[in-house]
Amino acid sequence: MNKRFFIIICITAFLLSACEKAVSFDLDEKEPKLVVEATIENGQAPLVVLSKSFNFFETFGLKELAGISARGAEVYMSDGVQNLKLKEYGQQIPGTTDSIFYFTNDIALLPAAIIGAVNKSYNLRVVWNGKEHVATTAIPAIT
């Protein structure tokens, strides 16, 4: 009986063991692409963060975070009534002298600022490195 039990255990262990095969990927390094993260919510100002993509195996830390911002873009938002150029602001990364950057309403133009509202559509236009990127969104009714 013990011999039979041992054989069953060995067969089970053999069937349940997996083979491993090393797989390597040869990913070419690509030119960074623009990454646009934009939000607008009911009662809030628009917030747009522009960054550059990273290659898959590239290291990423606080120093790289500072260099990821896509600076010098022109960012416009329209709510169908007004078309405003958003202003670029910087926020220092804690523990460093570096900053990350974002776009929102220009505080000098607050009376004309765009604020999110329910049942309204918004158009975003970003011009960076000679290329134009556009997007449209809407804030749906609260249910």
Radius of gyration of the chain (CA): 26
- Tell me the per-residue pLDDT of 47-102, one tens digit each, with 9 for 90 and over: 999 998 887 777 777 667 667 888 889 999 999 899 999 999 988 878 778 788 89
Q: What is the pLDDT of residue 76?
A: 96
| Token pair in block for residue 68 | 């990821």
Question: Are the CB atoms for 91 and 131 separated by under 8 Å?
Answer: no
| Token pair in block for residue 5 | 């039990």
More confident residue, 103 or 59: 103
Question: What confidence category does residue 7 fall into, taking pLDDT thresholds of 50, 70 and 90?
Answer: confident
Q: What is the pLDDT of residue 117?
A: 94
Mean pLDDT, range 3-31, rounded to an integer? 72
